[in-house]
Amino acid sequence: MAPEATAAEIRAAYRRAARAHHPDMHGEASSTRMAQINEAWRVLGEPSRRREYDLTVASRAVATDDDVAVAAGSDARAATFREPHHNPLARYQDPPRFPWRFMGGLLLVGVAFVVLGVLTAGDPVPPKVDNVLNPGDCVVIDVNGDAAERLCTQAHDGVVEILLTGGEVLCPNGSEPHRDRQGMGTACVRPR
């Protein structure tokens, strides 16, 4: 493989070699070769280790060229080391794979659960009367003038605007004061 090979080319070469020499396909005889392939991938598959390896190979080549030049008696200059091409964005050129199929499957399962829940859910629980007046509650006015809570889906005489718990009895315009049936204060009720 050329020193200028990209990470994708190295990965493709590793996969081809692993398929060709895997012990599952070729028995125990290929296990030594597979160990060598894995070691090569360990070194060349990571950018920092690959740079270190390229430097080592280049320094060996320079030393060998110098020895040949000296042995031949020539006046050759020592070969200069050329830094291998390094792309700072290399890790983005071959991004990790995202498990799209798995995530799509999870999404489909989630949608199926939601649809199943909607289809099998019964009617919503109707609101219950708790006999504690709150603003927005519908009320009926008893004969004695007390206000009692009633579901808004049933016939009612008015809607509570505000509750007065102190001694004040001033209700906003258009609402009438009525004593809470529970004796909790005065409810200002706007008639229907």
Overall domain count for the chain: 2
| Domain assignment of residue 114, yes or no | no
Q: How many Å apart are CA 21 and CA 41, to the nearest integer?
A: 14
Of 93, 122, 152, the residue that ends a domain is: 93
Q: Is residue 38 part of a domain?
A: yes
pLDDT at 87: 61
β-strand 186-191 against 158-164: which pairing, if any? antiparallel
Residue 153 structural domain: 138-191
Same structural domain for residues 89 and 160?
A: no
- Count CA atoms within 13 Å of residue 166 on its CB side: 3
Residue 18 in any domain: the answer is yes
Is residue 87 located within the same domain as residue 152?
Answer: no
Please list the ranges in the chain whose pLDDT falls under 70. Answer: 1-3, 61-96, 167-169
Q: Return d(Cα 182, Cα 165) in angstroms, integer.
A: 12
pTM above 0.75, yes or no: no
The answer on 84 and 22 residing in a single domain is yes
pLDDT of residue 89: 59
Q: Where are the beta strands (DSSP E) in 83-179?
A: 138-141, 147-150, 158-164, 176-179
Is 36 inside a domain boundary? yes
Shared-domain flag, residues 86 and 151: no
